[in-house]
Amino acid sequence: MTSILYIHGLNSSPSSLKASQLSALMQRLGRSAELRVPALHHHPREAIGQLEAAIGELVQPLLIGSSLGGYYATHLAARHGLKALLINPAVNPHRLFDGHLGPQTNHYTGETWQLTDDHVAALAELEVPPPQDPARYQVWLQTADETLDYRQAQAFYRGCALRIEAGGDHGFQRFPAHFPALLAFAGIPASEWRELDFSSFD
């Protein structure tokens, strides 16, 4: 059975655009039961616990991680020998939060919380070296990402299959146009999706 675990980013949720589009795709394919999109806790240790539980429910899932979710996916892929598709992933995010501690608001749920030194320490605990088995990874980057410098991910994942598109943004524009590559990487037979109009998920 093919299964997918989608890992959203910081201050995001299962209601984000990419998560919603992916959920709609899997529903169209009759594979909703094979997709998990957990609403992650803001603290990395809590979030990793949730993701470990989801991995335990699924059979060798493909990890799809966006932004901070890409960092989580990289850690989990290394730990469990899983495949990972990373979309504008954060690279060592604990190094990016200097001067950014304090109040945070989840863009989707309205939840407010405090980003603390303990969050940063927990992120540092998840750091892994560049992938040692690059064939298990795809990394999708858009150069106009306004939140993260795509060149950091380009360098970190340089041995992996990189898809670098000019323009775009941190949310990764035109995500449904990439569904054929996603489904192929997930191992879902082309016979199930070859006739789909992927623009219907925009």
CATH number of 13's domain: 3.40.50.1820
Q: Is the dihedral of CA 143, 157, 13, 64 positive or negative?
A: positive
* pLDDT of 73: 98
Distance (Å, whole) CA 128 – CA 77: 10
Q: Kindly indicate the confidence band of residue 100, based on its pLDDT and cuts at 50, 70 and 90.
A: confident
The pLDDT score that the predictor gives to residue 142 is 98
| Boundaries of domain holding 136 | 4-201
Find the mean pLDDT for residues 35-61.
96
State the average pLDDT over residues 133-151: 96
What is the SS3 assignment for 84? strand
Average pLDDT over residues 8-24: 96
pLDDT value of residue 2: 84
Q: Which residue, chain included where needed, has tokens 């996916």?
A: 73
pTM of the model: 0.96
Please choose, from the candidates 82, 81, 92, the residue with its C-alpha nearest in 3D space to the C-alpha of residue 5.
82
23-48 average pLDDT score: 97
Q: Residue 55 CA to chain centroid, in angstroms?
A: 14
- CA angle (86 as vertex; 33, 95 as ends), nearest 5: 125
Interval 130-143 mean pLDDT: 95
Where does the pLDDT of residue 59 fall: very low under 50, low under 70, confident under 90, or very high at 90 and above? Answer: confident
The first and second tokens of residue 26, run together, are: 């899997």
Q: What are phi and psi of 164, to 5 degrees?
A: -115, 120
How many separate domains does the chain show? Answer: 1
Q: What pLDDT sits at residue 194?
A: 94
Mean pLDDT of 112-132: 94
Long-range contacts of 115-121 (CB under 8 A, 24+ apart): 115/42, 118/43, 119/42, 119/43, 119/44, 120/94, 121/94
User: Over the chain, what is the mean pLDDT?
Assistant: 95
Q: Is the pLDDT of residue 96 over 80?
A: yes
